[in-house]
Amino acid sequence: MTTHYDHAQVQEFWQYVWERDDVYALPADADDPTYVLGMFPYTSGTLHMGHVRNYAITDAYARYRRMQGDDVLHPMGWDAFGLPAENAAFERKTDPESWTQACIRRMRDELETMGFGYDWSREITTCEPDYYRWNQWFFKRFYEEGLVEYEGASVNWCPDCETVLAAAQVDEREVERSETSDGASGDVERVCWRCETPVGRRELDQWFFTITDYAEELHEGLDDLEGWPDGVREIQRNWIGRQEGARITFEVSGSETDATDAVEVFSTRPETVYGATYLAVSPGHDLADELAATDDAVADYVADVRERDPSEVGFSGVETDATATHPLTGEELPVYVAGYVLEDVGTGAVMGVPAHNERDHAFALEHDLPIEGVIAPKDASVDVDLEAGAYTGSGILEDSGEYSGLESESARERLLEEVAAIEADVTYRLRDWLISRQRYWGTPIPIVHCDDCGRVPVPDEDLPIELPEFVRTTGNPLDAAEEWKRTSCPDCGGPAERETDTMDTFVDSSWYFLRFLSPGLEDAPFDTERADEWLPVDVYVGGEEHAILHLLYTRFFTKALADIGLLEGREPIRELKSQGTVLYDGEKMSSSKGNVVAPQEYGAETTRLFVLSAAHPEQDFEWTANNVRGAYELQQTLYGMASAFVEEGDTRVKRRPHDGYLAREIDRTIVAVTDEYERFRFHRAATEIRELAQLLRRYRAYDRPHGEVYRRGLLTLSALIAPMAPHLGEECWNKLRGEGLVVEADWPTPENDVADYRRERRLVETTLADVRDIVDTAAIDDPERIDLVVAQDWKYETIRLLRDDVDDSIETADTDSLVDRVLEAGLAVDRETVAPFVADLLERGDHTDLEAVSDAASERAILERSAWLVTDEFDADVTVRQASDGDELAGTARPGKPAIHIR
């Protein structure tokens, strides 16, 4: 008898069959398919366990939806541009394209080995010219719409990657606290998101997408993304950083000229304006540049700070010869250039209110500036020491002119209404998306620089601008490609140079989901009509770490494309699933830590079944060999049962009560597993499948199985496991002579109404537990007979009456009033009998009887069908009956809780 499942023997055959029948291809006449997408992989060389978990989730759900009768779009492609490929090629003395294509071939083979069901006819590769040409086309459209800026900026620079980093690509890493040169202490270090090298600053001309134009819509739209995890939405909300406050204008006079500048500051607490004791601007502020032109101390400070990481600057600063006029008091305030004021936050200038802002307080202490309190706590007993720290709470204004005595909120409202220099405003932490990269392996930016015409976009008909042959060099490789760089101006025809920066690779991934709709389209990036019909993506799966770098940019891209008339929808993804991390010995699997488990080490089917059954998709879980064995043994169990049934036969035709129990358990499992698949709780689906398999084994051991019922159970298991373990499902389905392929089969449906299947299961489980408890407590070694006695009809009727008529008021009702209601309803019971029952309901307090009650007949039927479980466990005769008047067990039998008598 062949009962051992050898995945390696069957996977190649079934993959051949699936490919032969093209089962994963989306039908040409699909109207609005279910779009299931996993974040496509970076071509790093091999699949890791994070990939497997991500794609096991999408594959299981896509297969489930296909069996539900949906047309399913489930594509795969490659995030193929990027610095790691360039570095890897450099190390291996090859070129990035050759390295990347080799990685793609290897990873594609691994995905196919894992049995993932993709429509490979839609495969895309972002480093191919027929893809990145459309990056260039989008750049031009954005340029025409005013969504692209080219300007000099102080930017984040990674000396190891030798490229600029967007703000979102700079991570903060904790370091040991130490005293910086200017006396300020710090405990974080800004590092590159890829290589963790400390990040510095440089002044460079750079290209930006003006994502800030969409800050408000990106913020407001988060409330409508109900299918997204709260954590991801909160990360984006914090990154966008919307703040309501006021813009306050200070007149600033310089010492060298009579000119007066208006400097605007943003404050979330304009009611603290009377506490301003200085004005500070960032080293990148226009006023700082103006003052540096005539003040060597300012010039030296600005030059020094611009070369340093912001985390190293602390609360350093330099006082200038300029003064600012307070807009309400007319007082002259000193003006500082301060490193803690950031150029790209708010207006790049702050009014220093040391008494009520912690950062201003630290700066004031550092530079011996006044600390003047203007808000006191409402509770006069609260002691505030402004020298020790700022008071940042609300309260009552003091020393604030005519606004003294007002509460913070009232004062804020009046200041906004009455003072011309104070206007309501909203600011955002979000900065424009810096897309320039000084690297080779990316999309060339379609701009030429002409001495006469300036920056000129390359005509559409000349796209794509393809990369030149790779040359090993340091710095910016395209800047060294002299022949490629030299070109003519599209406007005047004169000599010009190509832009040598390439685009951030997150441009590639911001719209790839659109290209999957029509990957072979030659005259447009995607089919707009199809996009309007098929989008948004129904389910998107990936790591929460992409909440900013990828998902925020994707939302921006979608909105921008809608505004230029290419899309109707403004959000790209309906439901987002964030996958958790696979851990090993408590740490994330990582090559650098040497704790990686290759997906093939335990076999493809075992691995994918384990990563799905180990935990909820959003939770981290620990990889252990013992738990992997559980996934392996489940496969062996299912395959062994199917094989034994086919090879042994020996079934019967006549039905018995326990066949009915099994039939309903099959139905209940179908309903439960369907619900778990819908909610992406594959770990619970696996548990339900495992429990049904155990029941089928027990059923077969108890009695010669009914052929039709038992085969249906095995076919059901084959279908239910198929989305998670497709080779196994297909092999078992084939052995059992299921119709066609299981991948194309209809999802199982229950034969009976099992809407109350949870109540039925609970009844059986609690009854078995009660029998065990009695046997153990009474120390009955060998029970001969077990009677299960169902309550009398009037108890069910009483509970229904109380549940329907009394509802929540039962919490405060008294026994006599409830008994009166029962008797008024005309039930066949007297007061003496019903009163103790009602009193017991009230005394127990949990009212479980009120929550799930049917009737005596259905409860008796459930127990009769499941009585064989009691017989099988205790080897005793079991009878099920209903209590009658005078029955000694009538008093203890309750609805949902039969009386039990063991002899």
H or E element in which residue 674 lies? helix 657-678
- Is the confidence at residue 176, as pLDDT, over 70? no
Characterize the bridge pairing of strands 433-434 and 200-209: antiparallel
What is the pLDDT at residue 420?
95
Angle at 414 between CA 409 and CA 418, to 5 degrees: 155
What is the pLDDT at residue 107?
94
Phi then psi for 487, rounded to 5 degrees? -155, -175
- Is the confidence at residue 259, as pLDDT, over 70? no
Supply the DSSP string of 38-71, one letter for each residue: EPPPB--SS--HHHHHHHHHHHHHHHHHHHTT--
Distant-in-sequence, close-in-space partners of 145: CB < 8 Å, separation ≥ 6: 560, 563, 564
What is the pLDDT at residue 183?
38
- Is the confidence at residue 663, as pLDDT, over 70? yes
Torsion of CA 519, 525, 529, 532, to 10 degrees: 90
CB 702 within 8 A of CB 710: no
| Helix, strand, or coil (residue 771) | helix
Mark out the alpha helices in 383-537 (DSSP H runs).
408-418, 477-480, 482-485, 512-515, 528-534
Which of 544-548, 590-594, 764-768 is modeled with the greatest confidence?
A: 764-768
What is the pLDDT at residue 180?
40
pLDDT tens column, 726-742? 999 999 999 999 999 99
- Is the confidence at residue 867, as pLDDT, over 50? yes
Residue with tokens 């326990």: 658
Give CA 634 to chain center in angstroms: 29
What is the pLDDT at residue 814?
73
Mark out the alpha helices in 2-149 (DSSP H runs).
7-21, 49-67, 83-91, 96-113, 129-144
pLDDT tens column, 434-454? 999 988 999 999 999 999 999
Q: How long is the chain?
A: 903
pLDDT tens column, 6-34? 888 899 999 999 999 999 999 988 999 99
Rounded Cα–Cα distance for residues 186 and 310 (Å): 11
- Is the confidence at residue 715, as pLDDT, over 70? yes
What is the pLDDT at residue 812?
57
Kindly state the tokens that stand for 602.
């335990």
Nearest residue to 740 (alpha-carbon basis) of 122, 74, 7, 66: 66
Confidence category of residue 810, pLDDT binned at 50, 70, 90: low
Nearest residue to 557 (alpha-carbon basis) of 567, 547, 545, 544: 567
CB 496 within 8 A of CB 35: no
- Is the confidence at residue 49, as pLDDT, over 90? no
Other Cβ atoms within 10 Å of 581 Cβ, number: 16
* pLDDT above 90 coverage of the chain, percent: 69
Q: Report the pLDDT averaged over residues 403-422.
A: 96
Rounded Cα–Cα distance for residues 656 and 642 (Å): 22
Rounded Cα–Cα distance for residues 413 and 547 (Å): 36
Average pLDDT, the chain: 90
What is the pLDDT at residue 800?
79
Nearest residue to 70 (alpha-carbon basis) of 39, 37, 31: 31
Rg (CA), the chain: 36
What is the pLDDT at residue 306?
80
Confidence category of residue 184, pLDDT binned at 50, 70, 90: very low
Name the more confident of 491 and 823.
491
What is the pLDDT at residue 257?
47
Residue with tokens 């071939």: 105
H or E element in which residue 334 lies? strand 332-338
Distant-in-sequence, close-in-space partners of 517: CB < 8 Å, separation ≥ 6: 73, 526, 527, 530, 531, 534
- Is the confidence at residue 534, as pLDDT, over 50? yes
Give CA 606 to chain center in angstroms: 25
| Helix, strand, or coil (residue 531) | helix
What is the pLDDT at residue 2?
61
How deeply is 830 buried, as exposed, middle or buried, from its count of CB atoms within 10 A (0-12, 13-18, 19+)? exposed
- Is the confidence at residue 807, as pLDDT, over 60? no
pLDDT tens column, 375-385? 999 998 888 99
What is the pLDDT at residue 168?
67
Distant-in-sequence, close-in-space partners of 671: CB < 8 Å, separation ≥ 6: 750, 754, 757
- Is the confidence at residue 155, as pLDDT, over 70? yes
Kindly state the tokens that stand for 243.
């703040």
Nearest residue to 81 (alpha-carbon basis) of 46, 124, 125, 39: 125
Rounded Cα–Cα distance for residues 6 and 685 (Å): 23
